[in-house]
């Protein structure tokens, strides 16, 4: 199946499978596989059923809120966000059906390359003005922020 | 020749015309501005550089430069000095970078004229160029320019849809895009242009606003393979500002007029025939396989057994890296800033106002997968599956490993269909469509290998059908020669999209 061209004598042709016989009109002595014969005729995917997956993760509203607070983003409707997140998790569950025994994680496709260090020489600087340029609130050379030390989860000031 | 004719010519021809003073750079820019204006209903550009600024700059008409003032466009997630860079998001609506991305600087240093920033899905998350603060970009194919119907048009694909449309319509000779999961190849295929995703590490990401650091690559959209080669040779190479660019492995590509594919080993990855691929695309795939074999190539079937898990893997890793990359947007140093009594409140409000739902969705999912209790189960698991996917691909390209290997290029579909109509596309969510359309493109990003989309013919509905070629790392030469062969053999023509 993997060779693209085979020379067969006419006796062998009689016993070849269908895809070769239909090319007979071009030559009695050449039995050639065309490129198109190698494109599959149907989907090659394995069907993954619901029962192949572990049980579906159902989140509590607290858990959703917890992720919101870590992410510092939220949806307007907490229940809708719960559904979106559960769907995302469910889709990811497909990975759990793949055997990864003795497989190392891949952090970067450049793992076989060296990172090059440049010389420790200053080549640019004095860019304070550029760095501050796009900030909305600046005072002298400082970015201005409201006070910290308060976690969003502890406060009643939730953006809704 | 009509105004648009010269704008549709290949780079080499136009450069010749400029050299021989058949046309001046100034005239070329005038025509390009006219063209951008003519096609503005397609909404390809987020912003256009002031005409006078560009003309003033080009008056010296530098004949010694490589690009001689040739106009080009850049996706609006590449930083451009003193030119607004929005990522099509409210978060960066008013952001004006103080530096340019390396790939942009290389083009302007080579004498190119930056015309404008092109539309994308917000922060490059999407496959339609429909989720943008300036609205969706429309595909020029089957678009009624005379009587445009607001409900009846085809999507451009994403997320580099603006760049694809600018190139397809002649508003730009070539354009920069970015490809994280297929964001160059997909719009290229929907718009009938060539889209190259180079090897990870061959082009600098400095100045490309990060989506997924381990997969993002800048890339090129143009109307022919020759033009892609020309620009690739300007852009490729190590950049001290991007430590993930390699040294010594990137070579300039030399292209023949009629590259031969004799003895080229072309692999047909069987798992790229998944559920829901359109019969027209399968037919095109078969035609291309025949064309290769009829011209002396050795076409073989290969197996990439983990292909169907690649999109799931992409989903987890993408969300994880997005959660990390988007953490920088808090309104403090740049970007949209909302009021808040304390920092976390300010950050949360700024982010909720600045990011659209799709972006927030990915950040949330990413944060979930990165929770300490989930990290091993999902994120590390995805990294392991990524290795399996990369190993599958490496194996088939490996010379001398026996069965299921020794391939020079892989030939496959780009996606499951031609460009969908907007009204159909919009019925499903961003994440649904991402899973649907990035299905055959993101594997190349997982493995880092170069891949290209080449338009080959038109469908029954007169929309472009493209095919994808992949090669092993840093083998852009092999990839582009196979692409040029396919282009030469195909019947695809670029229309002028005139009124």
d(CA B333, CA A145): 10
Is the preceding peptide bond at A84 cis, omega within 30 degrees of 0?
no
Chain B residues whose CB is inside 8 A of the A45 CB are 271, 274-275, 308
Touching check for B81 and chain A: CB below 8 Å?
Answer: no
Residues in B 379-398 with any Cβ partner in A closer than 8 A: 380-388, 390
At residue A27, does pLDDT exceed 80? Answer: no
Touching check for B324 and chain A: CB below 8 Å?
Answer: no
Question: Would you call B67 helix, strand, or coil by DSSP?
Answer: coil
Touching check for A58 and chain B: CB below 8 Å?
Answer: no
Q: What is the pLDDT of residue B340?
A: 87
Query: B191-205, pLDDT tens digit by residue?
Result: 999 999 999 999 999
Catalytic residue among B79, B89, B132, B159: B159
Judge whether B75 counts as a catalytic residue. yes
At residue A150, does pLDDT exceed 90? Answer: no
Q: What is the pLDDT of residue B496?
A: 83
Touching check for A39 and chain B: CB below 8 Å?
Answer: yes
CB B363 within 8 Å of CB A71: yes
Looking at every residue in chain B, the average pLDDT score rounds to 95
**Are B293 and A35 an interchain contact pair (Cβ–Cβ within 8 Å)?**
yes
Judge whether B183 counts as a catalytic residue. yes
Give the residue-averaged pLDDT of A57-80: 94
With 0-12 / 13-18 / 19 or more C-beta atoms within 10 angstroms meaning exposed / middle / buried, residue B423 is exposed
Q: Collect all residues with Cβ–Cβ distance below 8 Å to B250 and sequence separation of at least 6.
A: B199, B202, B236, B237, B238, B474
**Are B313 and A95 an interchain contact pair (Cβ–Cβ within 8 Å)?**
yes
**Are B390 and A127 an interchain contact pair (Cβ–Cβ within 8 Å)?**
no
Q: What is the pLDDT of residue B478?
A: 98
For the whole prediction, is pTM greater than 0.90? yes
**Are B270 and A157 an interchain contact pair (Cβ–Cβ within 8 Å)?**
no
d(CA A29, CA B229): 42
At residue A1, does pLDDT exceed 50? Answer: no
Q: What is the band of A151 on the pLDDT scale with cuts at 50, 70, 90? A: confident
Q: What is the pLDDT of residue A12?
A: 32
CB B191 within 8 Å of CB B198: no
Q: What is the pLDDT of residue B3?
A: 72
A14–chain B nearest CA distance, Å: 24
Q: What is the band of B297 on the pLDDT scale with cuts at 50, 70, 90? A: very high
Query: A117-131, pLDDT tens digit by residue?
Result: 888 999 888 899 999
Q: What is the pLDDT of residue B498?
A: 77
Q: Note the ipTM here.
A: 0.94
Q: What is the band of A31 on the pLDDT scale with cuts at 50, 70, 90? A: very low
Q: What is the band of B447 on the pLDDT scale with cuts at 50, 70, 90? A: very high
Judge whether B159 counts as a catalytic residue. yes
Q: Fill in the DSSP letter of residue A54.
A: P
- Which among A1, A75, A133 has the least Cβ separation from residue B360? A75
- Which among B286, B316, B334 has the least Cβ separation from residue A92? B316
Question: Would you call A112 helix, strand, or coil by DSSP?
Answer: coil
Helix runs in B110-213, H state only: 161-168, 185-191
Residues in B 419-448 with any Cβ partner in A closer than 8 A: 431, 435, 447-448
**Are A149 and B342 an interchain contact pair (Cβ–Cβ within 8 Å)?**
yes
Q: What is the pLDDT of residue B499?
A: 56
Give the residue-averaged pLDDT of B237-266: 95
Q: What is the pLDDT of residue A32?
A: 57
Beta strands in B404-485 (DSSP E): 409-413, 451-458, 464-471
> Could you give the dihedral angle defined by the CA atoms of residues A69, A72, A75 and A78, in that order, rounded to the nearest 10 degrees?
0
- Which among B214, B289, B323 has the least Cβ separation from residue A108? B214
d(CA B450, CA B483): 12
Q: What is the pLDDT of residue A116?
A: 84
Q: What is the pLDDT of residue A30?
A: 42
CB B217 within 8 Å of CB B198: yes
d(CA A61, CA A64): 5
Is the preceding peptide bond at A130 cis, omega within 30 degrees of 0?
no
Give the residue-averaged pLDDT of A88-106: 97
Q: Which residues pair with B468 in a beta bridge?
A: B412, B453
At residue B413, does pLDDT exceed 70? Answer: yes
**Are A134 and B96 an interchain contact pair (Cβ–Cβ within 8 Å)?**
yes
At residue B257, does pLDDT exceed 80? Answer: yes
At residue B60, does pLDDT exceed 60? Answer: no
Q: What is the pLDDT of residue A146?
A: 94
Query: B310-322, pLDDT tens digit by residue?
Result: 999 999 999 999 9
- Which among A39, A100, A109 has the least Cβ separation from residue B381? A100
Q: What is the band of A29 on the pLDDT scale with cuts at 50, 70, 90? A: very low
Give the residue-averaged pLDDT of B296-318: 96
At residue B64, does pLDDT exceed 90? Answer: no
The sign of the torsion formed by the CA atoms of B309, B177, B186, B449 equals negative
Touching check for B299 and chain A: CB below 8 Å?
Answer: yes
Touching check for B174 and chain A: CB below 8 Å?
Answer: no
Q: What is the pLDDT of residue B372?
A: 97
Strands A138-139, A142-143: pairing kind: antiparallel
Touching check for B243 and chain A: CB below 8 Å?
Answer: yes
Q: What is the pLDDT of residue B177?
A: 98
Q: What is the pLDDT of residue B4?
A: 79
Give the residue-averaged pLDDT of B429-448: 95
Q: Which residue of B has its CA nearest to A146?
A: B342
CB B354 within 8 Å of CB B335: yes
């Amino acid at each position: 199946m993997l060779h693209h061209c085979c020379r067969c004598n006419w006796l062998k042709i009689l016993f070849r499978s269908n895809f070769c016989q239909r090319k007979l009109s071009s030559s009695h002595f050449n039995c050639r596989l065309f490129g198109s014969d190698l494109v599959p005729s149907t989907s090659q995917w394995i069907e993954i059923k619901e029962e192949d997956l572990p049980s579906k993760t159902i989140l509590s509203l607290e858990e959703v809120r917890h992720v919101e607070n870590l992410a510092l983003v939220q949806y307007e409707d907490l229940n809708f966000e719960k559904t979106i997140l559960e769907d995302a998790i469910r889709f990811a569950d497909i990975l759990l059906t793949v055997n990864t025994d003795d497989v190392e994680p891949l952090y970067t496709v450049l793992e076989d390359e060296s990172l090059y260090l440049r010389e420790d020489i200053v080549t640019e600087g004095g860019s304070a003005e550029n760095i501050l340029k796009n900030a909305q609130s600046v005072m002298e050379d400082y970015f201005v922020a409201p006070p910290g030390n308060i976690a969003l989860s502890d406060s009643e000031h939730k953006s809704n | 020749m009509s105004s648009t004719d010269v704008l549709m010519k290949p780079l080499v021809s136009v450069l010749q015309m400029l050299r021989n003073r058949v046309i001046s750079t100034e005239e070329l820019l005038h025509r390009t501005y006219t063209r951008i204006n003519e096609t503005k209903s397609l909404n390809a550009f987020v912003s256009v550089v002031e005409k006078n600024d560009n003309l003033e700059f080009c008056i010296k008409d530098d004949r010694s430069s490589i690009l001689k003032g040739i106009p080009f466009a850049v996706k609006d997630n590449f930083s451009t000095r003193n030119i607004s860079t929005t990522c099509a998001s409210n978060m960066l609506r008013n952001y004006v970078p103080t530096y340019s991305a390396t790939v942009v600087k290389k083009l302007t240093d080579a004498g190119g004229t930056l015309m404008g920033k092109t539309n994308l899905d917000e922060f490059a998350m999407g496959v339609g160029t429909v989720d943008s603060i300036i609205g969706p970009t429309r595909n020029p194919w089957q678009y009624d320019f005379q009587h445009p119907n607001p409900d009846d048009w085809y999507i451009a694909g994403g997320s580099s849809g603006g760049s694809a449309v600018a190139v397809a319509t002649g508003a730009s000779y070539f354009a920069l895009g970015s490809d994280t999961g297929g964001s160059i190849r997909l719009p290229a295929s929907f718009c009938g242009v060539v889209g190259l995703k180079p090897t990870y590490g061959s082009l600098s990401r400095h100045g490309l606003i990060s989506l997924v650091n381990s997969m993002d690559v800048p890339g090129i959209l143009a109307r022919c393979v020759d033009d892609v080669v020309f620009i690739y040779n300007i852009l490729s190479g190590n950049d001290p500002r991007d430590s993930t660019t390699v040294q010594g492995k990137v070579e300039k590509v030399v292209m023949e007029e009629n590259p031969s594919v004799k003895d080229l080993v072309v692999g047909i990855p069987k798992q790229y025939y998944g559920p829901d691929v359109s019969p027209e695309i399968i037919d095109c795939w078969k035609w291309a396989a025949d064309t290769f074999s009829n011209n002396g190539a050795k076409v073989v079937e290969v197996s990439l057994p983990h292909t169907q898990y690649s999109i799931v893997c992409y989903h987890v890793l993408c969300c994880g890296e997005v959660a990390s990359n988007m953490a920088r947007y808090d309104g403090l140093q740049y970007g949209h800033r909302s009021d808040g009594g304390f920092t976390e409140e300010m950050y949360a409000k700024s982010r909720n106002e600045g990011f659209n739902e799709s972006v927030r969705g990915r950040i949330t999912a990413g944060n979930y997968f990165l929770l300490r209790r989930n990290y091993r189960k999902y994120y590390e698991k995805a990294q392991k599956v990524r290795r399996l996917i990369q190993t599958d691909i490496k194996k088939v390209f490996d010379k001398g490993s026996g069965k299921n290997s020794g391939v020079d290029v892989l030939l496959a579909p780009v996606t499951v269909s031609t460009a969908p109509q907007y009204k159909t596309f919009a019925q499903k969510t961003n994440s649904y469509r991402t899973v649907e359309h990035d299905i055959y493109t993101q594997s190349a990003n997982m493995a880092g290998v170069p891949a290209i989309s080449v338009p080959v013919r038109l469908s029954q509905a007169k929309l472009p059908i493209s095919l994808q070629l992949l090669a092993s790392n840093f083998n852009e030469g092999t990839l582009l020669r196979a692409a040029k062969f396919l282009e030469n053999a195909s019947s695809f023509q670029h229309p002028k999209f005139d009124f």
